[in-house]
């Protein structure tokens, strides 16, 4: 199927991100032989960002960034990477990406992969509070933890909790402030989220839950946080982790339809011909496992969605993206992995281990629908459930996987 009649000779990818680099791979894999230019806003070579909160916080010395792509690999794929080229505008009539250096990069197709940025809070003096996004942010956080021996985290999402788990210990006192009583309830489901909350309690994280932050005043060394319950929390350093916003504001007025992200159809196309978006900047209007339009902010989604869009552009195909949302996180040495999306009315069912143990696996669904699986250290069991989710299978099929897994393990126990 052909999206338009013109030959594609120039593809611009905006964002040297996991999604952008994967889109380039997808283009080549799909047989596209023309030019590929990737525009990156940071000066760093593209690096593995999950490592910042998942591993490097607990490490010593200079943060060792893991390169996502070596120069050799980019050259072998004939991909031009321009670092320090922040995109500031898109001309959809003349087909240019305009960068802050004043360059106009031409395209026949453009793939928007500008990702997202952390929301922050301003102090009463209008100073933005620190977040964790870049290696510089990581260095600042590590220095502050060492210098002050205490850190306050505002927001208890995946990153906030990973930071708390990495820092909390004899050397660093961690306080976690969150407006919800049960952090990560929407991601992990209530029973698993309760286990994670208990893990943090047991590791002496001071949890201030069910309270929101009214205002923050002061600066590094002496902050004062006014809370919704009327109390004041004093702290030397604050890190904010209250979610992310799509980096789509550079497209304001371009003609590309936006709604807290670039609106794309199931194939990855935006409303303007030749314009595509991939990864966590893209708000997918339809996806078999997601009930409403959604941005997925997880690592493997960026990889798979980016590749998928690259393939569609290269092959001029209109294949819908159906990848199952997946995330993983490590808290105090326990690895949690999840596939699918839990919905508010879902019922949990523990099918391996038991809550409170070190290993367990929980299914979520409602009626005949199977929506998600969350594992704590049962990673080897996930593949079967993932297959069920991929084919939009039923709760019954998920239970069949569970009984098969348990049967196989029982046999293994008897024979070993």
Partner 1 sequence: MTGQVEVLLDTNLCMAYGVCVTTMPDVFDTPAGSPVAVLRRDRVEAHDRDELEEAIRACPAQALAMREPPS
- Binding interface with partner 1 (CB under 8 A): 22, 25, 48, 50-51, 54-55, 66-69, 299-300, 303-304, 307, 326, 328, 330, 335, 337, 339, 377, 379-383, 386
Of 2 and 415, which has the nearer Cβ to partner 1?
415
Distance of closest approach, residue 301 Cβ to partner 1, in angstroms: 10
3-state secondary structure at position 331:
strand
Say if residues 366 and 350 touch (Cβ distance below 8 Å): no
Biggest CA pair distance of the chain = 70
Nearest distance, CB of residue 89 and partner 1, angstroms: 31
CB of 408 to partner 1, least distance (A): 12
> Minimum CB separation from partner 1 for residue 334, in Å?
10
Select 8 or 351, whichever has its Cβ closest to partner 1: 351
Closer residue to partner 1 in complex, CB, 19/205: 19
Token reading at 117 = 């940025």
Task: Considering the complex, state which of residue 248 and residue 352 has its C-beta at the smaller distance from partner 1.
Answer: 352
Task: Tell me the closest approach of the beta carbon of residue 388 to partner 1, in angstroms.
Answer: 14
Give per-residue burial for 184-204: e unless 16+ CB within 10 Å, then b.
bbebbbbbbbbbbbebbeeee
Q: Could you tell me the smallest distance in angstroms from the CB atom of residue 25 to partner 1? A: 8
What's the CA gap between 216 and 408, in Å, rounded? 55
3-state secondary structure (DSSP) of residue 251 = helix
- A 10 A CB-CB count for 92 gives 18
Rounded CA gap, 157 and 205, in Å?
Answer: 15
> Is 16 within 8 Å of 81 (Cβ atoms)?
yes
How far apart are alpha carbons 401 and 389 in whole angstroms?
12
Rounded to whole angstroms, the Cα distance separating 390 from 405 reads 18
Q: Which is nearer to partner 1, 190 or 379 (CB)?
A: 379
User: Which CB atom, from 48 or from 400, has the smaller least distance to partner 1?
Assistant: 48
């Amino acid at each position: 199927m052909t999206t338009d009649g013109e030959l594609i000779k120039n593809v611009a990818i905006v964002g040297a991100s996991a999604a952008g680099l994967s889109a380039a791979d997808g283009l080549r894999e799909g047989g596209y032989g023309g030019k590929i230019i990737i525009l990156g806003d940071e000066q760093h070579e593209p690096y593995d960002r999950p490592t910042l909160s998942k591993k490097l916080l607990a490490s010593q010395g200079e943060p060792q960034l893991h390169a996502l792509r070596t120069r050799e690999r980019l050259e072998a794929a004939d991909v031009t990477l321009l670092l320090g080229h922040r995109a500031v505008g898109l001309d959809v009539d003349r087909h240019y990406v305009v960068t802050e250096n004043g360059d106009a990069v031409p395209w026949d197709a453009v793939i928007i992969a500008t990702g997202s940025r952390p929301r922050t809070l301003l102090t009463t003096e209008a100073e933005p509070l620190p977040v964790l996004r870049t290696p510089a942010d990581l260095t600042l956080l590590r220095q502050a933890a060492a210098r002050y021996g205490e850190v306050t985290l505002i927001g208890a999402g995946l990153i906030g909790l990973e930071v708390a788990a990495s820092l909390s210990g004899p050397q660093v006192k961690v306080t976690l402030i969150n407006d919800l009583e049960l952090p990560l309830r929407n991601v992990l489901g209530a029973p698993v989220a309760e286990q994670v909350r208990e893990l943090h309690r047991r590791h002496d994280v001071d949890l201030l839950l069910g309270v929101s932050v009214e205002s923050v005043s002061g600066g590094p060394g002496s902050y004062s946080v006014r809370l919704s319950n009327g109390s004041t929390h004093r702290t030397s350093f604050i890190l904010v982790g209250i979610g992310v916003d799509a980096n789509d504001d550079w497209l304001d007025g371009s003609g590309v339809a936006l709604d807290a992200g670039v609106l794309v159809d199931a194939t990855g196309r935006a409303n303007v011909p030749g314009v595509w978006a991939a990864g966590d900047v893209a708000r997918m209007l339809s996806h078999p496992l997601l009930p409403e339009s959604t941005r997925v902010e997880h690592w493997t989604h960026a990889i798979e969605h980016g590749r998928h869009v690259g393939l569609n552009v290269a092959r001029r195909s209109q294949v819908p993206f159906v990848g199952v949302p997946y995330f993983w996180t490590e808290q105090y040495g326990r690895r949690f992995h999840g596939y699918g999306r839990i919905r508010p009315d879902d019922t949990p069912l523990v099918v391996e281990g038991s809550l409170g143990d070190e290993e367990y696996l929980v299914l979520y669904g409602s009626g005949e629908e199977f929506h998600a699986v969350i594992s704590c250290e049962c990673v080897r069991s996930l593949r079967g459930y993932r297959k069920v989710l991929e084919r939009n299978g039923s709760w019954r099929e998920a239970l069949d996987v569970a009984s098969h897994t348990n049967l196989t393990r029982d046999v293994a126990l008897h024979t070993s």
